[in-house]
Amino acid sequence: MKSKHLLGVDGSVRIAVVDKTMTEAEVVSRLRSGMTIGIGGWGSRRKPMSLVKEIVRSDLDDLTIVSYGGPDVGILCAAGKVRKVVFGFVSLDSIPLDPHFRAARQNGTIEVEEYDEGMLQWGLQAAGIRLPYLPTRAGLGSDVMRVNPHLQTVVDPYEGETLVAMPAIPLDAALVHMNRADIHGNAQYLGPDLYFDDLFCLAAENAYVSAERIVATAELTADAHPATIRIPGCSSAASSRLPVVRTSPRAFPTTTATNSSSANTSPPRRTPSSGRDSSTAISPGPPSPWTEHSHERRHPRRGLRRRLRRCLSRRRRDHRECVRDGPRDRRAPRPPTFSPDLVLSDGRPPRCAAPGRSVVRPTARSRPGCRSTRSSPSCGTASVTSR
């Protein structure tokens, strides 16, 4: 973080922060063991994975992690950095439950506080506006109250309704990831959803933002609405550039990564920086094939759906042939094709007389309303004779 001294009108010296850019190592050096750290994003979407992996390399431990979890929580649990997890879910989307988090929870190596997603949001909101709790209906009638016996209920003094008093969840630090940011810490998201990254920053004493690109302040609103700048510089302590753009999973719409790569606990590859000083320069690396534009998006289940459609199409075709021609042995070869010297008994050429077309042998059984087993004009059948 760079700053300069300004001389006030009254002769006093004031410090004006000019550049908040920091490296991942500098951000993690400001964290301490035992802290409560909130990690933004949603599942495996837009997670500050470069900062998470830097925590794995550090000597931090005994951390309390608050997150709508994904690979971030799993990696920290696998590295033994976590004492307690406060979460609404910990999922990799295509994998319902993160395997590292599940193993840590089953082995009893971590403490957990599991809330409803809306309750976790309300806890961050209460901490952001400095209230001890906020009333909510979320959690009523569920096991959330049973597994969290410390939760209390309050009675609405106006209507007499019983509500859950969701306690505030204050954070010592928040780590979020955005698409773009400037050197002053103004951060912008370009995807369809902000998730609750702004609440994480409001609930934290210090917020640290990793960004895909560091741009000029004027560029933030050059091609996007000012409302997309949801994290102002006054609420962020630092803006950290990624050493490699592809290290963050699913930062729509610029880059994304698969669950397998985001769940890898090995350190990310760093490439030599170019241009400016290494603490603020970014090496974009090769273009990523995982861009999430609508015409290039790769759906993890698209291949499965295509195979299911093909299988269903084959079944429908086989059913039509069975109704029309009757059951046949699938191991037997298909009927031969018509030869040019074949004609129907009424003198008409067969419909599928073209070379390569399969023989069509309609029978009486092809029509449910026909009782006769012999070929008859009412059933739309005809016998084939040779010229």
pLDDT (tens place) for every residue of the chain, 387 residues total: 565 555 555 666 666 667 888 899 999 999 999 999 999 999 999 999 999 999 999 999 999 999 999 999 999 999 999 999 999 999 998 889 999 999 999 999 999 999 999 999 999 999 999 999 999 999 999 999 999 999 999 999 999 999 999 999 999 999 999 999 998 889 999 988 889 999 999 999 999 999 999 999 899 999 899 999 988 877 777 766 543 333 344 455 654 443 444 444 444 444 443 333 333 333 333 444 433 433 334 455 567 777 777 888 888 887 777 777 776 665 555 555 555 555 555 666 555 544 544 444 444 444 444 444 444 444 444 444 444
Same domain, 227 and 116: yes
Same domain, 230 and 314: no
Q: Are 324 and 366 in contact (CB under 8 A)?
A: yes
Same domain, 176 and 114: yes
- 181: alpha, beta or left, given left = phi > 0 and alpha = psi -120 to 50? beta
Same domain, 241 and 309: no
Same domain, 109 and 172: yes
Answer with the one of 262, 292, 318 that is the final residue of a domain.
262
Answer with the one of 262, 277, 295 that is the final residue of a domain.
262
342 domain-assigned: yes
- Cα(340)–Cα(384) distance, integer angstroms: 12
311 domain-assigned: yes
144 domain-assigned: no
Same domain, 239 and 314: no
User: How many C-beta atoms lie closer than 10 Å to residue 181's C-beta?
Assistant: 30
- Residue of 170, 167, 128 whose CA lies nearest to 144: 167
C-alpha to C-alpha distances, 92 to 45, 71, 203, nearest whole angstrom: 9, 7, 25
Same domain, 212 and 110: yes
286 domain-assigned: no
Instruction: Provide the whole-model pTM.
Output: 0.62
153 domain-assigned: no
Residue 356 sits at the vertex; the CA angle it makes with 360 and 358, to the nearest 5 degrees, is: 15
Place of tokens 């993690």: 28
Place of tokens 């191991």: 331
Number of domains in the chain: 2
Same domain, 62 and 203: yes
Same domain, 216 and 324: no
Same domain, 258 and 318: no
Same domain, 188 and 257: yes
Answer with the one of 210, 237, 262 that is the final residue of a domain.
262
- Annotate 216-260 with DSSP letters as a single string: -HHHHTTSS-GGG--B-GGG-SEEEE-SBGGGSTTBTTTB---HH
Give the domain range for residue 121.
2-132+168-262
Same domain, 248 and 357: no
